[in-house]
Structure 1
């Protein structure tokens, strides 16, 4: 298996404060809109958990770690990371990945 040089992926599980799952998802969708056209952002997908109403998953693929750091450390359109953090019940859980390819990703 060969990964595209430097590409990084991540699954991020975020649990909202009780009853705030929809607000968290809406805020993350605004973050995703702010990342449209961001250099190195290949995928930033917001997913609602099917069985946990206050859990939202983010699927990310970046050209490299620097692109991820650059995009996520700044303001994301109208939304900053602080807007997301204030809705969370605890710190996000991260799973780092090495994307290998597949439907929907540039080769």
Structure 2
């Protein structure tokens, strides 16, 4: 995700609050916020869900005080999505 210029830290902080709201979400295997090492306004989210329904259910809900709408306000454009199929390894429950 690329934030509006100078808003990378705010985007990361907001996504970390979203991540906190997902700690007990059914089907959430991993939701990790990553800062780009060389692009201060770019933040990556690595997420793994048990299934698409769990992801849709959790991310469409109001996540405590922070919802996805607050994240979208900070974005300079639509997020780039890369769909992968995890095969295994450390980090999955």
Give TM class, smaller chain. over 0.9
Unaligned runs of 5+ in 1: 1-13
Shift of 1:104: 1.6
* Distance (whole Å) between structure 2 residues aligned to residue 16 and residue 67 of structure 1: 26
User: Aligned equivalents of 1:80 and 1:105: distance in 2?
Assistant: 25
Correspondence list, 1:1-107, <5 A: 14-106=1-93
**Considering only CA atoms, is the larger Rg found in Structure 1 or Structure 2?**
1
Q: Which protein is richer in helix relative to its size?
A: 2
The number of residue pairs the alignment matches comes to 93
Measured after TM superposition, the shift of residue 23 of structure 1 is 0.2
Structure whose residues are more often strand by fraction: 1
**Structure 1: which 4+ aligned runs deviate by more than 6 Å?**
none
Equivalent position SS for 1:67: helix
CA RMSD of aligned residues (A): 0.5
1:92 deviates by 0.3
1:11-37 CA-to-partner distances (Å, cap 9, x unmatched) read xxx000000000000000000000011
